[in-house]
Amino acid sequence: MLYAVKMDVAIPRDLDPEVRADTVAREKAYSHELQRGGEWAHIWRIAGQYSNISIFDVTDNERLHEILWNLPLFPFMTMEITPLAQHPSDIAVQT
């Protein structure tokens, strides 16, 4: 199942700089691991914002929840999740 996830990051300005750097580094490593495994299919920066739009290719809602819940930056994010279905006009899937 495919999902588009918009993640808006808001790290408190008074967070200890070492904790911030460690959390961001762990977020990157976690994301890379999931990208290599194929479940985090795309990640795009939204220009001018500390936000991204990502595409996840996962088995079900529970797996998506598990992935998102375990993001190191999860406590500092708000998310908007959109389930995706094939579009009938997509030439890649027309028969």
Which residues make up the interface to ligand LWBT4IAB (CB under 6 A)? 7, 9, 27-28, 31, 52, 73
Whichever of 13 and 87 has its CB closer to ligand LWBT4IAB, that residue is 13
Question: Which residues, other chains included, contact 60 with Cβ-Cβ below 8 Å and sequence gap of 6+?
Answer: 1
Q: What are phi and psi of 34, to 5 degrees?
A: -70, -30
Of the two residues 63 and 95, which places its CB atom closer to ligand LWBT4IAB in the complex? 63
Helix (H) or strand (E) holding 22: helix 17-37
Per the structure block, which two tokens stand in for 7? 């993640």
Least separation in angstroms between CB 19 and ligand LWBT4IAB = 16
Minimum distance from residue 87 beta carbon to ligand LWBT4IAB (Å): 26
**Smallest distance, ligand LWBT4IAB to C-beta of residue 64, A:** 14
Mode of pairing for the β-strands spanning 51-57 and 2-9 = antiparallel
